[in-house]
Amino acid sequence: MQSKTLARPFQFTGKAGTLESLAPFLNTGRVLPLIRFTVSHWRSQPQAILDCCEQRFGDRYLIVRSSSLSEDQEGTSQAGMYDSIGNVCGALALKQSIEKVIRSYGQARECDEVLIQSMATGVLASGVAMTRDPETGLAYYVVNYVPGYGTDGVTAGTDTVHSFVALKSRCSLEPVALKGLFDLLAEVEQLTDRDALDIEFAITDDGPLLFQVRPMTGQGVESIAPHSDLTLHSVLDSEVLLLEGLAQKMRAPGHSFNAFLGLMPDWNPAEMIGVKPRPLAYSLYKELITDVNWASARFRYGYRDMRNKPLMYQLSGSPYICIPYSVESFIPAALPLSIVNSAVARCCDHLAANPSLHDKIEFSIIPTCFTPQLAAMPASFIPAFTGLSAAQHTLYLAELKRVTEHIISDEGPFYSDLTRLPRIQQRIERLGTHQQNEDPLQQLRHALAEAKVVGEIFSGVARAAFVATAIIKSLEAMQRIPAGFTDLLIGGVRTIGRKMADDFRILHKEAFLRLHGHVRPGTYDVRVARYDETPDAYFDWSSPLQRVHRDEGPRVISREIHNAVQQAFNECQLRVTAEHFFKFFDAAVAGREKVKYMYGAFVSQALKAFGSWGQGHQLSREELSFARLDDFIGHCEEVGLETIRHQLACNRARWQSTQSIRTPVIVCKPQDLLYHAIETCNPNFITRTATEAPVVVLRAEDTRQLDIEGCIVLIESADPGFDWIFTHRIAGFITAYGGENSHMSIRAREFSIPAAIGVGQTKFRHLLASTRLILDCAERRIQVLS
């Protein structure tokens, strides 16, 4: 007879025993009727068990589930080790399924059990919920689920998995597909007196079903720091208040639930400085790019003036881009405010409804230049245009065309920017040579001043390169030029990346490092060594890569393609000749890479000077990484060293308090920090080739010499400093962050290396555990082999 009270402390007695113990006490969900029996019982009385099942379940479809005593116990889950067989019908099939489950135990013990239940019906969603963050142990519900009638999509890995995370004490709103789940999770926690549980569930027409409960295992839940939950709540409460103020400031009047912050919509901070950057890297990027330079260059190139509006903000330790500011900065300056406001609001609304586009704003939400494809596309296809009248749409296209023609023209801002490069190159060549006796902080300030100038030029030249690639991609999409021509065209441009690879092949070590030694993986990370500081960690000097010889003479575009491009331009009345466009394309792509390289030289010099100052004051690079730039470009000489040490320690403590906070890729309302979907990403697959190879994981701060020859390289955030990998024979590479036009996408095209750019943090973390992969870019597929 079932006890009317739940035994304390609660005992996890295997899958079947745990469910049977909980079933009578659940108010927020159900356990389906079950029959459990031991292996010994089955071996002695199989027919009696089959008869009992027939009497209990009739002709319903059944599931035969493993319930070995080694499963779902304290300290071990053995999840997925043994078979479970669904949709079983009939006595013969039931007998065969029971035998198969027992065989999956290997050497089955007499006391091991088998669990039989009817198949769930009316299933709306099913999945697995962790009642603490499995990685950090913090007080989050982390749910992976699959909508639909199946019940093993998550555990079997056969369906597209959706994910949702919610702070336990703030999870009043759950996704519609998970209705009732959070109440069930809270009740099971209370019944078991455990707050770290691994729970399998289904949501049905009649409410939640409980399939399995076991204690969570793993380092995350076993190493929870005291008071960590209180710290988490304190930080998030203050961040929500900050977000409420930012939301009122940034978004359009009358819009309360549109997207206003994102990790990757513009200037890719997650790729360049990481999702949880240290204070120095964040303040450098903010000072040099996202405060003013991002907007100044766009204004010079013909877009809206946003120079008084910083682009990047930090919340819960993550760098966020202001989406309304980013969208507005892509709108031609001459358009009236009524059109501007409509476009910004429609774009933010569309992104809120389609958060997977968070890193593809320029491709999928707002056009940032005029292209032949845009001219032929109905306004209803472009989110930015959906609120415009026909006359406003016509005006918008006309102004976008004018801006595009201005950027491409010989008299435009792009070619003007190129004339400044020789003098910048001269200053780079003198870096460090005339500053030997200068105070390191003065060197820091001088290098930063130079970096700001070059950063503004880089912002402009990068815009020109985007215009060039957007136009050629539009022609490829319209099938006016052959498929793959964009990659071929980019691969044929003589860039600094190819020059570095060629220099490595032909120059002696010392000569190579004199030219390229300033490059630093992790451009903004003072902890990471430059090429000339630990060259042997990056390069194999004994076996330089011999690449296929390329003809470096003038590239010849076939007359057929030349005519097709000119005809497309004529049809949309774009006043650019094909000949001039191809010249502009080469200059823009090469110029972007060249100026990016120059900009990196000054940033690297600034960090080198800062490191020297720290060394002179017994401050390690690790400690300096917690500095804020504002503290050192003023007059920190007037501040005592102990005060600086105290500030660094406070910055470190603040940084550490945010490291485990879950942050959404898109913020639509302040409460999104407390509960949000974990968005899946649509990676950018570069080239149309496939490779199968072992996996190597690279991290900028890892100084070990790793053998990456013949491997697929995994890099979470790959900035230009990782160009050293292209002096090795890598099979391919995968990044967590990055877009169609990011630095590593360009390199993949340039060297014809298969790559998946921007797979997202969730997928990337999954791949970190792999040892061998298939990367098939033609089929857009990444398959884990081991």
Q: Spell out the domain ranges in the chain.
A: 33-119, 261-494+552-646, 680-784
In the predicted model, what is the mean pLDDT of residues 227-250? 86
pTM: 0.86
Q: Which long-range contacts (CB under 8 A, 24 or more apart) does 235-240 make?
A: 235/316, 235/657, 235/658, 235/661, 236/167, 236/170, 236/316, 236/661, 236/673, 236/674, 239/315, 239/316, 239/673, 240/670, 240/671, 240/673, 240/674
What's residue 432's pLDDT? 65
How close are the terminal C-alpha atoms of the chain, in Å? 48
pLDDT band at 637 (very low <50, low <70, confident <90, very high): low
In the predicted model, what is the mean pLDDT of residues 726-735? 90
Please determine, for residue 635, whether its predicted confidence score (pLDDT) is greater than 70. no
What's residue 747's pLDDT? 84
Please determine, for residue 265, whether its predicted confidence score (pLDDT) is greater than 50. yes
**Positive or negative CA dihedral for 750, 755, 756, 758?**
negative
What's residue 158's pLDDT? 47
Least-confidence region, from 113-117, 207-211, 238-242, 434-438: 434-438
The CA-atom distances, in angstroms, between 436 and each of 443, 602, 624 are 9, 16, 21
In the predicted model, what is the mean pLDDT of residues 293-299? 97
Please determine, for residue 570, whether its predicted confidence score (pLDDT) is greater than 90. yes
Amino acid code (one letter) for 370 = F
What's residue 157's pLDDT? 46
Average pLDDT of the chain? 88
In the predicted model, what is the mean pLDDT of residues 635-649? 79
What's residue 750's pLDDT? 81
Q: Tell me the pLDDT tens digit for each residue of 135-192.
A: 888 999 999 999 876 655 455 444 578 889 999 887 767 888 999 999 999 999 999 9
Superfamily name and number for 680-784:
Phosphohistidine domain (3.50.30.10)
- CATH code: domain 33-119 is 3.30.1490.20
354 burial level (CB within 10 Å; 0-12, 13-18, 19+): middle
Tokens of 537: 């960690």
Amino acid code (one letter) for 488 = L
Q: Percent of the chain scored above 90 by pLDDT? A: 57
What's residue 2's pLDDT? 45
Distance, in Å, from the CA atom of 534 to the CA atom of 509, rounded to the nearest integer, reads: 12
Distance, in Å, from the CA atom of 320 to the CA atom of 682, rounded to the nearest integer, reads: 20
Q: Tell me the pLDDT tens digit for each residue of 63-98.
A: 999 888 776 555 555 666 788 899 999 999 999 999
What's residue 156's pLDDT? 47
In the predicted model, what is the mean pLDDT of residues 352-369? 89
- Which residues are CB-contacts of 615 (< 8 A; sequence separation ≥ 6)? none
Distance, in Å, from the CA atom of 406 to the CA atom of 522, rounded to the nearest integer, reads: 34
Q: Give the Cβ contact number of residue 730 at 10 Å.
A: 22
Q: Tell me the pLDDT tens digit for each residue of 714-723.
A: 998 777 888 8
